[in-house]
Every structure is written in C-alpha cells, then in structure tokens.
Structure 1
Amino acid sequence: MDVSEIIIPGDTPGTEWRLPVLRFKGSDPKAPKVYIQAALHAGELPGTVLLHFLCERLRQEGQGGIAGDITIVPQANPIGAAQSHFGELQGRFDLGSRTNFNRDFPLIPLVDRATLTEDLDDYPATDRLKRQLLHMALGADLVLDLHCDDESLQYAYIDETFWPEAADLAAALEMEAVLLSDGESSAFEEAVGFAWKYEVPGERQSRLPGKLSVTVELRGKRDVDPILAKRDADGLWRFLAARGIVNSEKATAAVFSGPAVPLDNVEIIRAPEGGAVLFHRNIGERMAEGDLLATIVTRPGQPGGSIELYAPQDGLILTRTSDRLVRRRGDLMKIACGSPSKASRRAGALEN
C-alpha cells in the first residue's frame, strides 16, 4: 500500500488541508481500476470505517491478491471536517460559499480531465478539493462515493446509464433499494458519469459497459458500528472479486431483489407546519396508501393543535429524519414507490 497526501492551501494565511490517498497496485494492467471515497459530507462516517476494514484486508492479500489498481480516499473532505458551529459539526455545506460539498463539481468531457488540476491557485480551497477528487476518480473505471443518510436503510443512487449492470453492487452490499437517477446534477458521481458519457464532446453515450459511478448510502449517520462496517467491507470485497479486481475463489455475484425505482417515484414527506413530530411508522416498513405516517404537534394543548400526515401511495420507507422538532417544509421521510409522485420534481438531485 502506498500512502500519499494532497496538500490543499487554505484561503487565509497559515492554513492548509491534508488529504490522505491510499493506493494499492494491481498485478493485471487489463483489470478494471477502482476509485473509492468516503465522507465527502464530512460527518458521514459509515463509509470511512468500512474502508478502514477493507484496507486491512487488501494489505493482508498483498499485491498477488489484487488484480486491478485501487485508489481509496477514506476521508474526502478535511475542509468540512474542520467546520464546527457552537460545537456542532457542519460537514454538508461549505460555510464560506454556502455550497453543498457534493454539488458544483465541474461537468467536463473526459478528454479535458487534465485541465482539472491546471492553475489550481486560481480557485478557492473547496474548488481545489473538488477538482482533485474528480481528477483522481476519472482515472478509474469503477467509482464509488460512500455516503449515509439520517435514519435510513441501505440504498444507492445509480444513474440509469449503469443499470441493471450495477445490480451486482446492490446485491453485494445487501441494499434494500436502488434509486435510479437521471444524471442531471453536478454531484460527484454524476460529474464522473457526465465525463464518461461525453467522452467525445457533443456526443452522448447512453450505455457505458464496464463503467460504474454510484453514490452508496450506508444506512444512517449513527450506524457507525464495527459489526456493520466489517459486514459492508466483506460485501464490497465480494463485489470487487466478482468484477475481477481482487482474487477470490468465491467470486460469484449475488442477486439483487429489492426495488429499483426512478427518482420521480420517491415521495418526500414534508412538514406543512413546524412543531414536534410523532412518527407512527419506521424505516423499512411497507405501507399502503392512506396509512398514518406521522403527527405534528403544532400548538400543544390547544384544540386542533396537531396535524396528521398520511401515505400518498403504497411504498417502502427508506429514510426518516432524526429531528423531532421540525420546521415548516422540512423533510420527514423518503418513500420508494411503484408509481411516480404527484409532486413536481426538477431534474437532478432530490435534495440540496
């Protein structure tokens, strides 16, 4: 294993950020190359601990057990990890630009990859970080961006371009659902997909055999657990083995049996008013149209002081907020459904 650091100068005198990069050299130049990063939203740590155990196994295997080059960035956002406001980590948005750390990645054709690291001094630290992460990823064939949700099942966002070929990853990581995205945002995994789809500028490819760029949601923020992390690392190992990147005698792909639905089929339940939320259903439950999901106590003790929210259609509860004091229009749940939501949705990511 080769360990290096990318040093990102800060935007004020006397500051800099260090980005560790772990590389495992493969023995077969024809094998797929892999790039995996975690904690782009700095406080989302299930992926970081998964990679800790995966690297341990890769070191044990040695070069003879690794066919394809593997690049791992276990803590992809040192800038966000240092942001704290009154003792609360603020790792999702850059406090300087107010931009989500997983948005505004450059959308370029693959032929322009080298330009990402040219004239880096012209960019603020956050953009330097994004450009260097994207540059590393575009040197690979398979790209995994490990995130987590709030309270959540295991699921993934996968561009329709890579489906159903990516079902082997969903099965290996025992995902309970897949959300098929339209590739229309500037999130990291979609910026990777954009570069591949427009490898020839102006010519869009609809299928990319042998390629994969995916956002994996490893359950919830509090699911930082040694048993889960080792299980997920084993699952990721099975995926790498089945794709011929690591050597294994049991390199057979599992079968994904969960729902795979377009983003248009995701119902996002939002609070019509602020108040204390009482959930009647938990993540992982399947509910029918009209089932009671939550009660919001808006005016405690007063007549008519609560609002009840019901399921708009049948579906599987994927996520739930951990907050119990919610704001008006705050997100409460995501539900994967068999039919499109009646709520309008802009192309791109579900949330900011």
Structure 2
Amino acid sequence: MFPQIETIFLRQMASGDRLFLQLYKFIGSQPGKKVYIQSNLHGAEISGNAVIHQLIEFLLSVDAADLMGEVWLVPVCNPMGVNERAQHFSPGRHCAYESKDWNRIFWDYEKHNNHLLAFAKSQIHEDLATIRQNYLNIIKQKFARNLDEISSPHSVPYSERFRYELQSISLDADYLIDLHSSNNQGLDYVYYFRNREDSAKYFLLDFGILLDKYDGDAFDEAFIKPWLALEDCFQQLGRQIQFDIEAWTLELGAGMQMNPDSVAKGVEGIKNYLIQKNVLQNLPSTQGHEIYFAKSSNREKYYAIAGGMIQSRVALGTNIKAGEKLYQILSFNKENQLPTVIDICAAEDGLVYDVSTNQAVNQGEFVLGIIH
C-alpha cells in the first residue's frame, strides 16, 4: 500500500527560504478510524522520526484490505525547533522569539465553550456516533475561526499559525499519538488519560503515567480534553459514556539521540496498538502486557541545592527507598575553603525515571526526577 504524500506550507523565512511539513496518508480500502501520529514537536527529541520511518516501511508492506480507516504520519513536525542549535547542542524546546514551549501553545476548545452542559442535555438520548459527530462539527466550526485571525492584515505570532496547521490535520482523529523523548535521559513510557489504562497496555511499555493534572495547552491535552469534559457533563446528567477517542504521548529515550532499543519499542508498541484497536487486521498481536501505572501528580523533581558537579548518581530506572542516597554534589567555592561533597538523599520511595544529561549544575538546576 503506497501513501498519499502531501506537503504543507508552514513559514517563509527572512532569507526567502520556506519551511514545510510532509504528511503521509495511508488509506485502507475499508472505512474505519483515523489515526494521527507525529514526531519531533520538541526540536531535540528526534527518536520518533525513526519510529515513523519504520512505520512507513511497515505500512508499505500492508495490503490496503487489511487497513480499516486511515493512518496519517507527520515526521519532523516542527522544523523551527529541529533546526535550532547552540554549538553542538539542539535545544529546540522553546520558540526563542516568543519564549514559549512548543508543546504548550495549542488551542483548547473547552476554554472557548461555556455551554457544554447545555449541549450534553440536547444530546442526552442520542447514540455515541451521533453525539461524536455533532460535537466534532461544533469544535471544527469554532476552530475554523482561527484562520480569520491568521489571514487578517494584523495576522498572528508564528506559534499560532504553527499550531493551526498541526491541529487542522489532527482535530478529527480518533486516536492521536505524539512521539517525544526526554529532554535529558529518560525511561521509555507512555502518558495517558483517565479510563484509558487498558489501551495503554497495548503499547507494550513497562511504565505509564496518568495525566491527572493538566491545563490543556499540550498537543495531546488539547485534543482529548474537550471529549473528557463532555463525558463529565453526561455523568452529571446521569448517563455514563466513554468515547472511543484516545490521545497518547510516547516518551522514547533521550534527547538528541535515536536509541535503537527505544525506537524498536515505539515501533512494536504502535503496531500492536493499531492491531488491538482493529485498525490493522490479519496480523499477530500481543495481549496481557503488564505495565506499572503512576500519576503525574506524584512526580518529584530534584534540583541542585548548590552549584557543582554531580557524581555517584543512581542509575536511571532505579527503585529508590526514602533516605537512600540519590547523588552527590562536588561543590567548589571561592571562600578560601576546601571543596565539599554534599550527599542528597531521597525524601520518599520512588522510581528514577528522568536524569539530567549535564552533570555540571548551577544551584537550582534539574538533576533527576522520581515518581512514586
């Protein structure tokens, strides 16, 4: 099966050069769900590009009759962030011009809707498919107004134009997968939303974090938050419903690297997810995978209490007990004193899931993250 390939204009630079997205659409011969997958929203987080490349190669070998619906893939979805450099390093997490996190800029319909409960009341006796289509039509109508601002003489900052392009091709998806990696060095895991634990297991990762607190500005949050809010409204009205709409962020390894193991996990997990969700048929799948779940509100970051060099740090993936040593800070001074070594111990039990790449830290800089 060969994809439809589309090129989407993003931005003209001062030099006259132009930036584009490239979208690969694999469309099955049978109707079904729409899956949207993108990578590299943060410039240094490149592993997802290898995942998408391998998924493209895999889907080329799939018969169109075995794909129910559509799979849309957008690698290198943020050219501005990907191309940013500071000597040998690729930061790319923030729009330098606007000082905004590239993954905290997205349009959240719920913040523009004050009549959600009234809509739910009007749909209380409708079936799920009808409710979904009616709600999606309203979201699309409201979202389309962004184009008026973009096209106006005063226009908008680039981040708003950028988010419009990504959301315009993903807004009507059933399943959305955003491929990231740690800014530093991290475990492979999946972020998920409430009541989606069973589907989270399909990705075959060992670790999942429930996003129990969020503001809706991240890509996955902005996509699913309106649907979670509508589920809440129906619950208030005494009707329990859950839409077959899911959003995921896969964190695959370290920044500025394409670790083969992390890439392989991402590819196999997404393939298994597509099979389990009946997007792909007549292919073997894996069931019953065990996964450790934790809540995002139970994450704790450790920041350097003094400037210096990090040494004797516990390894990524270590299960730590309260009171055990996490790391040391070798701290120099300009006070005519000998250097000191400061031991930092864990305040609570937990799993070390993220550690800094740079082991030279100024006071107050990130050293590691623990979840419990």
Matched ranges for 1:83-232 at <5 A: 83-109=84-110, 110=136, 111-114=138-141, 115-116=143-144, 118-119=147-148, 120-121=150-151, 122-149=155-182, 150-160=184-194, 162-169=195-202, 172-198=203-229, 203=233, 208-221=242-255, 223-226=257-260, 228-232=262-266
1:272-294 C-alpha deviation (Å, 9 max, x unpaired) = 12211114311111111100001
Structure 1 partner of 2:18: 16
Contact 1:319 1:335 (8 Å CA) reproduced: yes
1:122-179 C-alpha deviation (Å, 9 max, x unpaired) = 223322111221222211111111100121111122222x43233333xx33233424
Out of 291, 295, 300, the residue aligned to residue 262 of structure 1 is 295
Question: Using a 3 Å threshold, how does the CA distance of structure 1 residues 66 and 302 change in structure 2: closer, same or farther?
Answer: farther
Contact 2:41 2:78 (8 Å CA) reproduced: yes
- Where does the alignment leave 5 or more consecutive residues of structure 1 unmatched? 338-352
Structure 1 partner of 2:359: 324
Instruction: Report sequence identity in percent.
Output: 24
Segment of structure 1 superposing worse, 243-252 or 91-100: 243-252
Shift of 1:102: 0.4
TM-score by length of 2: 0.82
Measure, in 2, the Cα distance between the counterparts of 1:204 and 1:130.
Answer: 29
Question: Using a 3 Å threshold, how does the CA distance of structure 1 residues 177 and 164 change in structure 2: closer, same or farther?
Answer: closer
AA aligned to 2:304 is A
Structure 1 partner of 2:314: 281
Structure 2 partner of 1:349: none
Shift of 1:105: 0.8
AA aligned to 1:244 is N
1:64-112 C-alpha deviation (Å, 9 max, x unpaired) = 2211211111111011122223453231110110101000211114523
AA aligned to 1:65 is D
Segment of structure 1 superposing worse, 77-86 or 313-322: 77-86
Measure, in 2, the Cα distance between the counterparts of 1:227 and 1:262.
Answer: 25
Measure, in 2, the Cα distance between the counterparts of 1:293 and 1:106.
Answer: 39
Structure 2 partner of 1:68: 69
Contact 1:183 1:194 (8 Å CA) reproduced: no
Number of aligned residues: 331
Contact 1:11 1:124 (8 Å CA) reproduced: no
Secondary structure at the residue paired with 1:7? strand
Measure, in 2, the Cα distance between the counterparts of 1:58 and 1:334.
Answer: 36
Measure, in 2, the Cα distance between the counterparts of 1:235 and 1:197.
Answer: 24
Shift of 1:228: 4.2
Contact 2:192 2:200 (8 Å CA) reproduced: no
Contact 1:67 1:244 (8 Å CA) reproduced: yes
Structure 2 partner of 1:242: 276
- Where does the alignment leave 5 or more consecutive residues of structure 2 unmatched? 111-135
Structure 2 partner of 1:334: 369
Whether 1:40 and 2:41 are equivalent positions in the alignment is yes
AA aligned to 2:209 is V
Measure, in 1, the Cα distance between the counterparts of 2:338 and 2:208.
Answer: 40
Structure 2 partner of 1:310: 345
AA aligned to 1:26 is G
TM-score by length of 1: 0.86
Secondary structure at the residue paired with 1:312? coil
Contact 2:30 2:65 (8 Å CA) reproduced: no
Out of 267, 270, 278, the residue aligned to residue 233 of structure 1 is 267
Secondary structure at the residue paired with 1:166? helix
Q: Which has the higher helix share?
A: 2
Question: Using a 3 Å threshold, how does the CA distance of structure 1 residues 19 and 222 change in structure 2: closer, same or farther?
Answer: closer
